[in-house]
Chains A and B, each alone.
Chain A
Amino acid sequence: MPNIKELEDLTTQVRRDILRMVHKVNSGHPGGSLGCAEFFVSIYKEIMERNEGFDMDGIGEDLFFLSNGHISPIYYSVLARSGYFPVEELNTFRLINSRLQGHPTTHEGLPGIRIASGSLGQGMSVALGAAQAKKLNNDDHLVYSLHGDGELQEGQNWEAIMYASAKKVDNLISTIDLNQQQIDGSTDDVLPMGSLRAKFEAFGWTVLDIEKGNDIEAVLKGMKEAKSLTGKGKPVCVLLHTVMGNGVDFMMHTHAWHGKAPNDEQLAIGLEQNVETLGDY
């Protein structure tokens, strides 16, 4: 049994990391990052089987791909706190000559990252390729991917979604961050997408909802269930219901904090609401 208190403490700490990272450079994307904190902590600490160190090919371990690359702050924080690179390096986020680029890249060789993302809509195709490589290698480990809900408006996703079931890529778990927000407003304001469950099911996927995407126990339970659904001939989609900006009251439930950094005062309030647990970087 995982120690829930430890995971919650880590979640609080990565929320602090996110706020401090984007505040320092006055740029970056706190909203989606905060909403996905429990998901990242869960998969990196409990769900995925990972090898020591970092190897690009990831043979004999589970892989993760972030398609909505703008939520790099949460990705970097959890990678650092999972031992991929020194936590102090979070200090260099978005600075010149840093490995922690605005959007994740392989170009600077940051351990933990296997593909560049930032231009939306490309990650599922890459995850599919990696999942098929695993099959060719007789490697029975899984591939995980994360996508924004607004991001699903990109057509390439639907090419990938159609392919995944057609080719029975059943070692893939693609999670959608269902925060119902994007840049110009709510997803319903910008381009209503109807029932994502019905769409994925119509495309031949097994679909599972995690209604409480910001509750660590619910996320753990849901992701374990998703895992149990792999290997049955169908790709697995997790609809992760989250709150954008979760954990900082004035950032919650609005698209306003999709890509805006807090000022000094706002940072102080955000940090007050998330008291240091494991130590700031």
Chain B
Amino acid sequence: MKTYTYTEKKDTRSGFGAGLAELGRTNPNVVALCADLIGSLKMNEFIDENPERFYQIGIAEANMMGIAAGLTIGGKIPFTGTFANFSTGRVYDQIRQSIAYSGKNVKICASHAGLTLGEDGATHQILEDIGLMKMLPGMVVINPCDYNQTKAATIAIADYDGPVYLRFGRPSVPIFTPADQKFEIGKAIQLTEGTDVTIVATGHLVWEALEASKALHEAGISAEVINIHTIKPLDDKAIIESVSKTGCIVTAEEHNHLGGLGESVARVLAQHKPTPQEFVATNDTFGESGTPAQLMDKYGLNSDAIQNAVKKVLKRK
């Protein structure tokens, strides 16, 4: 079995900051907007190097989305930065009408997604954003797994013409994807080959899925781990091919099971290849304050939870 190791941990939001800084040097049309959270979004490098291409909006996210839509009219490629909660639910209709329906080339970059935001608690821990954003016609939804992949995704979406939701987070997580790996929107990445079960994970849960596959391997269970960094458009083919071999699947995400990656996978499978599936996701609940590790444990979003889900789904084959 292919195994993964890491020498360094970093937050995915820093990957976004590094990617944005690189875009500042390579793409003169890229502009950035922020709603009083520059430090949290790691946007300083871009701002220092390109002050004339940065817009401090103040604490006014709805205004930010509208301004971003307007900046595209004139050929700019706006990257908006705020927390995931204020990037989505807070401004849903502004995104829906002025960006998605109007087909504007805005990149909505959202940090502190999910429970791993930690102590700030439920008001800031959105677990519904993937669902909200994937339901918007034409919106691309990306949730990369580590620093390198977030950096690569940030750079890649500038070359894609259309609205994108890029979701990343606050905690330091292992860096295990290659720094030079090209990011292809909508293309799943098979991380381990397996025959007994498919584990499809996104974001911070990808590393947990790899940890789970190691433990499962020791228990004689062969798991195929797939990194679904793009939830929409979903790589249907990769999922169908994998379950054709394994016959069952676990989906894992830092999101509500209603509206998340798991439901997108279930739709594909129900249509093309009905397959037993278990969901590692939150169960129709809000989060709460706590350390990221405590929360991921309490709400069943870690390697242990994935292993349990695998054992459950294997019995349903």
Interface segment among A44-52, A100-108, A199-207: the answer is A100-108
Mark each residue of chain A from 16 to 32: 1 if its CB lies under 8 Å from any CB of chain B, else 0.
00000000010110000
Chain B 265-317 interface residues, beta-carbon cutoff 8 Å to A? 286, 288-291, 294-295, 298
> Which B residues are in CB contact (< 8 Å) with A183?
36-40
Instruction: Tell me which of B13-21, B52-60, B72-80 binds A.
Output: B52-60
Q: Which of B25-33, B119-127, B180-188, B245-253 contacts A (4 or more CB under 8 A)?
A: B119-127
Cross-chain contact of A182 among B59, B122, B294 (Cβ < 8 A): B59
Q: Which residue of B lies closest to A151 (CB)?
A: B59
CB neighbours of B230 from chain A (8 A): none
Q: Is the CB of A102 within 8 A of B58?
A: no
Q: How many residues of A contact B (CB 8 A)?
A: 32
Residues of A within 8 A of B291 (CB): 96
Contact B56 A98 (CB under 8 A): no
Q: Give every chain A residue within 8 A of B40 (Cβ-Cβ).
A: 183
Decide if A105 touches B56 in the complex (CB within 8 Å). no
For B298, what are the chain A residues with a Cβ–Cβ distance below 8 Å? 96
CA distance A100 to B57 in the complex (A): 31
- Contacts A101-B288, A118-B124; is A190 near B86 (CB within 8 Å)? no
Q: Using Cβ atoms and an 8 Å threshold, which residues of chain B touch A119?
A: 85-86, 90, 123-124
Does B62 have its Cβ within 8 Å of any Cβ on chain A? yes
Q: Are B121 and A102 in contact (CB under 8 A)?
A: yes
Among residues of B, the one whose C-beta sits closest to the C-beta of A69 is B123
Q: Is A126 in contact with chain B by the CB < 8 A criterion? A: no
Summed over the interface, the residue pairs from A and B with CB atoms below 8 Å come to a total of 94
> Contacts A96-B291, A96-B298: A102 and B36 contacting too (C-beta < 8 A)?
no
B39's contact among A105, A116, A184, by CB below 8 Å, is which? A184
**B244–chain A nearest beta-carbon distance, Å:** 41
A184, B63: Cβ atoms under 8 Å?
A: no
Q: In the assembly, what is the distance between CA of A177 and CA of B56, in Å?
A: 22
Residue of B nearest to A148 (CB): B59
Chain B interfacial positions (CB closer than 8 Å to A):
34, 36-40, 56-60, 62-63, 85-86, 90, 118-124, 286, 288-291, 294-295, 298
Q: Identify the A interface with B (CB < 8 A).
A: 25, 27-28, 69, 94-98, 100-103, 105, 107-108, 116-121, 150-151, 153-155, 182-184, 190-191
* Supplied contacts A116-B123, A155-B63, A182-B36, 9 more A-B pairs, CB within 8 Å: A96-B295, A102-B119, A102-B120, A102-B289, A119-B85, A184-B34, A184-B38, A190-B36, A191-B59
